[in-house]
Amino acid sequence: MPLSHANRLDELTRGMTTADPAGAHIYRRLMGQAVDIASRWLETGTLFDGTQPAAQRKALSDLDVFPPQGVGDEQALADAASCFLDHALQVHHPLCIAHLHCPTTLASQLAEVLINVANQSLDSWDQSPSATFLEQHLVSALRAWTGYPDGDAGVFTSGGTQSNLMGLLLARDRYALLRWGVDVKEQGLPACAQGMVAVCSRQAHFSVQQSLSLLGLGKNAAIPVSCDRDGKMSVDDLKCTLARLASESRTPFVIVATAGTTDTGAIDPLDTLADIAQAHGLWLHVDAAWGGALLLSHRYRHRLHGLDRADSLTLDFHKQFFQTISCGAFLLRDAAHFELMRTHADYLNPPEDDRDGLPNLVTKSLQTTRRFDALKLWMSLRSIGTRQYAAMIDQCIDLAAEVAKVIDASAAFELVSCGQLTSVLLRVCTPLHAAEDRDALHRHIAQTLFEQGIANLGVTRHAGLITLKMTLLNPGTTGADINALLTSIASLAEGGLPAKS
């Protein structure tokens, strides 16, 4: 019997979705408008227009979130520009240097257009027939570039947080299997897992603690090892810590090394840590979310010596690889360890597909539906080439070193730290005595610079004191930009704390 349901699809979706038969035509026109608005925004050059939270809230409350009658794409686009884009932070501004938040390659912007129009999902081959292979191909190439053995054991992730969780998950489950014969995926954590701990430096990213908490081991399972002056894990303290844990009958299962600590850009001594991990039969996970960018550097790549010995690796491309958010990867030295997390869903990745040679990448991922972010990095590498990429990264490192020198030589500032990447920590010299006044002054300086749209400067705590931070990720930032910024900082410091009203 034929279906009697009247086909109202045309009427319902006219001009609304890519399913519209005229969708391509409308898409071209609207995308042109969106690109015009976006380009004009890029051209303004304003770091931030200073709109305060109260005004932002007010502007939003004036627009109905659930309008019974839609306003149409053009009006929605105009509304988005006035509510969002016009007051957005320009992350590509030369003095947007608060966080590991990068300007983006034009190739990654182009890739976003293709990623979005195709809307593939990387969980199963039949939802991303070409994208699945491109991602695997890129993962293989990244492995080779890192010095890992041939293969495609790795997957793109939403970023460093997810990659760190994967590393700790697999390390935990491998340990439980080898030591107690327990399959944690099936049986859950055994009682003896109570004493399981991860050893990492005090400067390790907070997502390490967060992952341990999610993994049922608790935040306190992160055993902090002290750092040297530069923020690198102390090898002596690591050895003492491991000895102490053994005497307390606790069970370390992983060493988490950081290649590029978030605040100071310190790189732990990877090769030595790999020796120690090997001697103790521990998994070595390296969080190279930031420092992994040195893989592309010519002059500073040696700072990652030993990286290829990690059992698992976190890379983040939306940091110093200049990709749009999100874009990260998790690489696994030994593909067999992915078996620890393998699950099959009849509708998605049946074992029969494996036999037929159809890769369903969901098997390697914590996500199910997953964006094709790999295309961005692939296009950026093709477009820019490794030589130019290296120059962009090296230029930022050189600038940071020079800025550190200038700050160190100035009577107005104190250089707090300059690591192996591109962050510079500084304080202003001030006659203020009380530590809380000094802290307040540094906060006041950063806040004022932001409100005035001059700079987005980082504020963090180092050795107990509030400290200003520059994260120089922008290859377009010049010495002149930083000179002007230092002048503004010094003059705000001289002005002291605002009088309390």
Q: Which residues bind ligand PLP (CB under 6 A)?
A: 100, 159-161, 164, 205, 207, 258, 260, 262, 287, 289-290, 316, 328
Of 166 and 416, nearer to ligand PLP (C-beta) is: 166
Of 251 and 420, nearer to ligand PLP (C-beta) is: 420
**How far is 20 from 10, CA to CA, in rounded Å?**
7
Burial category of 19 from C-beta neighbours within 10 Å (exposed 0-12, middle 13-18, buried 19 and up): exposed
- The string of DSSP letters for 180-234 reads H---HHHH---GGGGGEEEEEETTS-HHHHHHHHHTTS-GGGEEEEPB-TTSPBP
**How far is 239 from 248, CA to CA, in rounded Å?**
14
Please report how close the Cβ of residue 487 comes to ligand PLP at its closest, in angstroms: 30
Among candidate residues 169, 139, 137, 136, the one with its CA nearest the CA of residue 360:
136
Of 121 and 423, nearer to ligand PLP (C-beta) is: 423
Please report how close the Cβ of residue 115 comes to ligand PLP at its closest, in angstroms: 18
Please report how close the Cβ of residue 99 comes to ligand PLP at its closest, in angstroms: 9
Within 10 A of 8 (CB to CB), how many other CB atoms are there? 8
Contact criterion met (CB below 8 Å) for 472 and 320:
no
Of 207 and 474, nearer to ligand PLP (C-beta) is: 207
DSSP state of 127: G
Which residue reads 């107990």 in tokens? 464
Which residue reads 């303004």 in tokens? 44
- The string of DSSP letters for 378-414 reads HHHHHHHHHHHHHHHHHHHHHHHHHHHHHHHH-TTEE
Angle between helices 206-214 and 160-180 (to 10 degrees): 50
Please report how close the Cβ of residue 157 comes to ligand PLP at its closest, in angstroms: 8
In this structure, are strands 251-258 and 312-316 parallel, antiparallel, or unpaired?
unpaired
Please report how close the Cβ of residue 335 comes to ligand PLP at its closest, in angstroms: 24
Of 324 and 349, nearer to ligand PLP (C-beta) is: 324
In 75-162, where do the E strands start and end? 96-97, 154-157
Pair of tokens at residue 398: 């050189």
DSSP state of 259: B
Of 252 and 260, nearer to ligand PLP (C-beta) is: 260
What are the residues whose beta carbons fall under 8 Å from the beta carbon of 322, sequence distance 6 or more?
102, 103, 104, 105, 108, 380, 392, 473
**How far is 225 from 458, CA to CA, in rounded Å?**
25
Please report how close the Cβ of residue 345 comes to ligand PLP at its closest, in angstroms: 26
Of 165 and 384, nearer to ligand PLP (C-beta) is: 165
Please report how close the Cβ of residue 91 comes to ligand PLP at its closest, in angstroms: 14
Of 199 and 489, nearer to ligand PLP (C-beta) is: 199
Please report how close the Cβ of residue 317 comes to ligand PLP at its closest, in angstroms: 9
What are the residues whose beta carbons fall under 8 Å from the beta carbon of 427, sequence distance 6 or more?
413, 414, 416, 438, 442, 465, 467, 468
Of 90 and 314, nearer to ligand PLP (C-beta) is: 314
Of 136 and 164, nearer to ligand PLP (C-beta) is: 164
Please report how close the Cβ of residue 279 comes to ligand PLP at its closest, in angstroms: 25
Please report how close the Cβ of residue 215 comes to ligand PLP at its closest, in angstroms: 16
In this structure, are strands 154-157 and 196-201 parallel, antiparallel, or unpaired?
unpaired
Among candidate residues 85, 89, 96, 70, the one with its CA nearest the CA of residue 13:
70
Please report how close the Cβ of residue 160 comes to ligand PLP at its closest, in angstroms: 2
Of 125 and 321, nearer to ligand PLP (C-beta) is: 321
